[in-house]
Amino acid sequence: MASGQSIGPHSPQRVRLGSPCPLHAASTKGGGRMSNAHSLQFSPEPCLYRGHVSHVRQGQADHRLVYRVACLLLPLHRMDDAAKASPFFSINRFNLFSFHETDHMDEGFPSLEGFVLHCLRTSGQYELQEVLPTRISLLAFPRFLGHAFNPLSIFFCCDENDHLQAILYQVRNTFGQRHHYLYRVDQSSIETGPDSRLRHGGDKKFYVSPFLAMDGHYEFVMRLPDEKANYQITMSGNQPASLTASFAAKRQPLTTGTLLRLAGMLWQGGWKILAAIHFEALKLWLKGARFHKRPPLPSQPVTNLTPTPAGKGPLS
């Protein structure tokens, strides 16, 4: 398929890769559309987001970092369409850029979608006979030249009518471990307006950094990806340091031109992310940040999150 060629015979009006999610006229910037007073619809096309990740640590050993990144937004039921977007992008096989389901799932599962549904079912948030989400989209770093490291991957889980039902955060550390945090969307807590945000939080259960104590609480602010992708995660609690991590990016089409431009920006690929993590850890150690030993993995593979009150100030 030529770069930028339209995909999918799903409707008379074809949609281009990387084109906007279909929105109500009343909402052109938010993360999805308000189909009624208490519901968000999210039906993205495969696309890329180019922007930056920033971390701000305050308290013991103040520190700040900003890195340029590029993420892939991939509806799992559209993987075949995404694979046709460019000769430089592949699904489950090596290429300049690629996406591999096994990067985000445990062994023994036939598909990433099946693994995500397993996480939802084992969370305790769904009754045995309750229908699980049927359309799942993933926001994560793609592989570059066969390598990627994703400290955070985000699954947006929708029903057959594209109504957002849950958000599953997959967190990884550099020790090869991962844990999941699940927010089952409380429809009554959705902020209305053109920039609808989802605010939720929960206790920290998974060891991420040796320079952050386990006694902490996360607050998430998520705006669903559309023209822009934005989220912010703040960790605070009974410890000497707090951390705010944020991601801000603009949508780019999944085309050959975009991929080649990103290759010039991200030539270090997954090595850069891992190297940056260790380099920033070294700087924190030199600043005197306290070192915390790695505890055992949590007994439950999924930690549930709950809605939190609206905060002050816009999400940039």
**Among 10-24, 172-186, 218-232, which stretch is predicted with the lowest mean pLDDT?**
10-24
**Among 157-166, 261-270, 278-287, which stretch is predicted with the lowest mean pLDDT?**
278-287
CB atoms within 10 A of CB 248: 17
Residue 217 lies in a domain: yes
Residue 62 lies in a domain: yes
Q: What band does 201 get if pLDDT is binned at 50, 70 and 90? A: very high
Please work out, in degrees rounded to the nearest 5, the angle formed at the alpha carbon of residue 263 by the alpha carbons of 261 and 268: 145
**Among 86-95, 110-119, 174-183, 303-312, which stretch is predicted with the lowest mean pLDDT?**
303-312
d(C-alpha 63, C-alpha 59), whole Å: 9
Please work out, in degrees rounded to the nearest 5, the angle formed at the alpha carbon of residue 278 by the alpha carbons of 275 and 279: 80
Residue 11 lies in a domain: no
d(C-alpha 93, C-alpha 95), whole Å: 7
- The pLDDT score that the predictor gives to residue 39 is 75
Summarised one tens digit per residue, pLDDT across range 181-193 is 999 998 877 877 6
Residue 19 lies in a domain: no
Mean pLDDT of 238-257: 88
Q: Which domain holds residue 188?
A: 29-307
Higher pLDDT: 205 or 9? It is: 205
Summarised one tens digit per residue, pLDDT across range 107-131 is 999 999 999 999 999 999 999 899 9
d(C-alpha 176, C-alpha 171), whole Å: 11
Domains of the chain: total:
1
Residue 2 lies in a domain: no
For the whole prediction, is pTM greater than 0.85?
no
Residue 283 lies in a domain: yes
Mean pLDDT of 39-62: 87
Q: 114 — phi, psi (to 5°)? A: -65, -35
Residue 178 lies in a domain: yes
Q: Within its chain, how far is the Cα of 245 from the centroid?
A: 12
Higher pLDDT: 71 or 289? It is: 71
- The pLDDT score that the predictor gives to residue 21 is 39
Residue 80 lies in a domain: yes
CA distances from 253 to 3, 4, 17, 257 (A): 9, 8, 6, 9
Residue 17 pLDDT > 60, yes or no?
A: no
